[in-house]
Amino acid sequence: MTDTPPIRRNRPTFTDQEALQFHSQGRPGKLEVVPTKPMATQRDLSLAYSPGVAVPVLAIAADPSLAFDYTTRSNMVAVITNGTAILGLGNLGALAAKPVMEGKAVLFKRFADVDSIDLEIDTEDPDAFINSVRYLGPSFGGINLEDIKAPECFIIEERLRELMDIPVFHDDQHGTAIIAAAGLINALHLTNRDMAKTKLVVNGAGSAGIACTELLKAMGFAPNNVVLCDTKGVIYRGRTEGMNQWKSAHAAETNARTLAEAMAGADAVFGLSAKGAFTDEMIRSMAPNPIIFAMANPDPEITPEEVAHVRDDVIIATGRSDYPNQVNNVLGFPYIFRGALDVQATTINMEMKIAAAEALAALAREDVPDEVAAAYQGSRPRFGREYIIPVPFDPRLIHTIPTAVARAAMDSGVARRPIVDMRSYKAQLSARRDPVAGTLNGIFERVRRFPKRVVFAEGEEEKVIRAAISFVNQGLGRAILVGREDRILETATAAGIELEGREGVELHNARLSHRNSTYAQFLYERLQRKGFLFRDCQRLINQDRNHFAASMVALGDADAMVTGATRNYSTVLDDVRHVIDEKPGHRVIGLSLCLARGRTVLVADTAIHELPTAQELAEIAIEAAGVARRLGYEPRVALLSFSNFGQPKAERAEKIQEAVRILDGMRLDFEYDGEMSADVALNRELMAQYPFSRLTGPANVLVMPAFHSASISTKMLQELGGAMVLGPMVVGLDRPVQIVSLGATDADIVNMAALAAYNIGG
């Protein structure tokens, strides 16, 4: 692998007043409770509370495991502290810890869709704390302990794990250990070290230091190769000063007595102590290619800049976001609990922690998607000395870590509800973070069963190359990159992509293709009466990748095509339509897939017909309904206007009415109606004011009166409403072609390539 240059990100800056305003503006704090069931009618209230609630009460009384089915317990974690070790601020008390615990709860929801509530317990007495928590088991699926000082944190966690039948996890211990272990796995890989022979020093014998030591020994470090140090020096066999049972368990057979002596010749060092704990001399004394994890917060034991002045063969990680290789607990706890909750684990054991660390390490070795690269402001990270740990905004974490944890829970016998179909579970996890992933999952699965050859027309673009490789890696088919071979390979090499000789990827140079003359003749026969000479067609095939790629699809040399990353949508569509006609009996339209608040709605026409006639609106409705069916939805089509069934009267609304009459004259097997406003089409209560409406429920296909209204509404929905919008998808062509928008990411291109392979448009 090729190393990236050092990556430096700007550290977020804000004033104290800005931080206070953030927490106080609007509704104070960072959490609210939102009902997941309707509460609009008396019947809703009767079902939610009395008398309807008695039914699940009796069911749970008869079978306690049903609480996971009928209550929030299966997706609820309590974040609990007594405030004795708040961040790097010390013992400030339970109440002062509440902003941190609320923040932790927010992170659970943001990264893994785990519901969470914070509980601050106002006692420093471990027994009182334990007795406060032990009886909360029926309320939660897991307990996340946080910001509790050592050694009390060991006592509390150990005792609660014995008393409770749900996971109890002190994140300051195990979260740090898991993330650091993942980074260390990769650092050992890069420096060609064997874990069993590596000499490691752990400086800091608090909760995180002890947990790191335990985890690494469980993973394969030899006990006497791990030297634990505290403020008094090395924890060695026979030492009595400042000892406790947790330190004694890791006392090493060594002659070293100081941190400096322990670090001499060491391969790696973990810092979980304080700023300045590592000196230049200590770093200089370490073995070649040393591994330094300086994880003290907010300031590390030694900074990367300070290390660089001493030696240049170091791999270094810190706890800070403005340096590479951040050891960030958010990479762990949301996803670990996600996996544990989903199998209803009784505990989080060592096997599950090791599985999480190994999955994180493996993820860092994979090529990163555009979402990650964007956070680096154009500098795409690649596995190497500056990138050994994934970053928190990697969208793959949600389906990578929980699956590993869940599988380990099942294998180790602590899962009460094993997962049978892990592939389906992985897809469900993706849908939690990305609703589009959930909707596309069925399409991806079908394409995997019937893989296709898809042409990626703009093959010299880095993100297109990445998309093509991802398409192949996901088992969706073969990828054909159109472009000059030398330019494609040069771009791939510069981006750190191993492309040459990769199975499943073909490179086609339009000018040098043996099919060149055939495509040119085919295009000439289509365009000769539209002002094109043969040499014009030859030039288009030689020089325009859209014409070449579309000809491949038209003549059966490929199954589908995706393009548009470098050109305007309408321009690309014109190029494609030089080569590929409308499907007989169909109309070419643009259709966008919108997902908002758990609802999926198709919107047409978002790309092609500027001011459609009544006939065109009717045909757009038919095309859109066909796509809804192919996506697995029973179409309910609303033809939209600013008016509702003739009120107010307007000339433009009459066109919608005429379109409905045209549809009435056809033998159609889907629901449709109009004209109606968007709120009536989407809101069951408002629709009830029009009992004559033919729609049996809220519309899932919206036919807009004009291109501009369709485009404006979907973009507003995306930007202001937080909706996910996929498309516009091309519908109605005789061959499968999809066009992405300018600025599309590699993930967008893969999605549209899958839609093309699925032939969503025809």
> Does 204 carry a binding-site annotation?
no
Residue 200 near residue 267, CB atoms below 8 Å: yes
Query: From the CA atom positions of the chain, what is the Rg in Å?
Result: 30
> Does 146 carry a binding-site annotation?
yes
Report how far residue 442's alpha carbon sits from residue 431's, in angstroms, rounded to the nearest whole number: 12
> Does 504 carry a binding-site annotation?
no
DSSP string, 148-215: --TTHHHHHHHHHHHH-SS-EEEHHHHHHHHHHHHHHHHHHHHTT--GGG--EEEE--SHHHHHHHHH
Report how far residue 170's alpha carbon sits from residue 249's, in angstroms, rounded to the nearest whole number: 19
> Does 297 carry a binding-site annotation?
yes
> Does 224 carry a binding-site annotation?
no
Identify which of 289, 306, 266, 297 has the alpha carbon closest to the alpha carbon of residue 100.
Answer: 297
Which strand (E) or helix (H) includes residue 519?
helix 516-527
Maximum distance among all alpha carbons in the chain? 97
Tokens at 648, concatenated: 């107010």
Identify which of 481, 477, 537, 439 has the alpha carbon closest to the alpha carbon of residue 757.
Answer: 477
Number of helices and strands (H, E) in the chain?
31, 21
Which strand (E) or helix (H) includes residue 715?
helix 707-720
> Does 90 carry a binding-site annotation?
yes
> Does 93 carry a binding-site annotation?
yes
Burial class of residue 190 in the structure, from the number of CB atoms within 10 Å of its CB (0-12 exposed, 13-18 middle, 19+ buried): middle
Give the angle 250-283-193 at the CA atoms, nearest 5°. Answer: 65
Chain centroid to CA 621:
34
Tokens at 362, concatenated: 């493996």
**CA torsion through residues 708, 713, 718, 719, sign:** positive
Give the angle 560-439-599 at the CA atoms, nearest 5°. Answer: 135
> Does 401 carry a binding-site annotation?
no
> Does 489 carry a binding-site annotation?
no
Residue 104 near residue 31, CB atoms below 8 Å: no
Which strand (E) or helix (H) includes residue 227?
strand 226-230
> Does 147 carry a binding-site annotation?
yes
Residue 728 near residue 568, CB atoms below 8 Å: no
> Does 619 carry a binding-site annotation?
no
Report how far residue 226's alpha carbon sits from residue 263's, in angstroms, rounded to the nearest whole number: 11
Report how far residue 69's alpha carbon sits from residue 525's, in angstroms, rounded to the nearest whole number: 64
Just list the catalytic residues. Answer: 104
Give the angle 32-33-38 at the CA atoms, nearest 5°. Answer: 135
Question: Please, where are the H alpha helices in 528-670?
Answer: 534-543, 545-554, 569-579, 614-630, 651-664
> Does 695 carry a binding-site annotation?
no
Report how far residue 238's alpha carbon sits from residue 253's, in angstroms, rounded to the nearest whole number: 9
The binding site consists of 86-93, 146-147, 172, 297
The binding site for a divalent metal cation consists of 146-147, 172, 297
